[in-house]
Amino acid sequence: MLPRQVAERLKLGQAVEPESFDNVTVFFSDIVKFTQLAMKSTPFEVVSLLNDLYSRFDTLIEEHNVYKVESIGDGYLCVSGLPDRNGTQHVKEIADLSLGFMDCVKQFKIPHLSREKIELRIGINSGACVAGVVGLSMPRYCLFGDTVNTATSHIHMSSAAHSLLIREFSGQYETQSRGDVIIKGKGVMETFWLLSRVRQDERESRSPLESALQRPSKAPLAEPEESPDLNETDLEKDKPMKEISLSREKENQQDNNLTVPLYRQFRQDALSNL
């Protein structure tokens, strides 16, 4: 599969150089337990299943500014923000597409496995990547970079994609932190669930409440209490530890100053009595 503008340049015999994109959002999905589903199906049934499901996905993609890169087996890779740059709109396009895919599989039925349901694993990540044409006889438009690798690690939504979505489209989506997750080849990462899109009427109705909840509450200042009568022992307990230690050290020094003269006087009296 090739973007239209890339295909036209290749038809004209023009070279297509790799291009770097500063910020895109990559989407990757595959089918949960696809191997088990395939074992319960004939090869023709597997082909029919994937063709039916991915034809519906392709129809959804046409409703968004998203480019389908490829589908290999049960893997489905697409991206927004390239080859046509669209500012920060790419993260919104992928978020809407992901929710559309989830709604699609909820209604999807497998004809030959009526008791089975299709479930998707989805990875969404935003960042920089490089795109270019690979091959001559059957050229492919491929994506390269760590942004793509992270999206294909089944992270659901990365912290980078989540931050961009919440910052640029605040209050339009409901998300939830998954906490720290160990991602193969990446280590520990905080990832997020993309739960739903908030309707305009819901957003307007709950905006005051959300803003009130997000606003940090200040504890009222406590009224000064009257101090009860304290004896010297209580006062000493209330002193800071440093102050107590210094006072005790001073007392010990005074005791030492008194002890030395007394010892000298006792020694002199003892010698005079000999």
- Which pLDDT value is given to residue 233? 45
What is the crossing angle of helices 89-107 and 43-61, to 10°? 140
Q: Which residues pair with 125 in a beta bridge?
A: 26
Q: What is the pLDDT of residue 182?
A: 86
User: What does the pLDDT read at residue 201?
Assistant: 62
Rounded CA-CA distance 274/271 in Å is 5
Q: What is the mean pLDDT for each group of 10 consecutive residues in the chain (274 residues)? A: 84 87 96 93 95 94 94 93 94 96 93 91 95 87 93 88 95 92 86 89 58 38 40 46 47 48 47 48
Identify each DSSP E strand in 135-212 by its residue range. 140-144, 156-158, 173-183, 187-197
Helices H / strands E in the chain, number of each:
9, 8
| pLDDT value at residue 268 | 53
Are 193 and 203 spatial neighbours (Cβ–Cβ below 8 Å)? Answer: no
Residue 270 confidence (pLDDT) = 47
Q: What is the pLDDT of residue 136?
A: 78
- pLDDT on residue 221: 36
pLDDT value at residue 262: 42
**Which pTM does this prediction carry?**
0.72
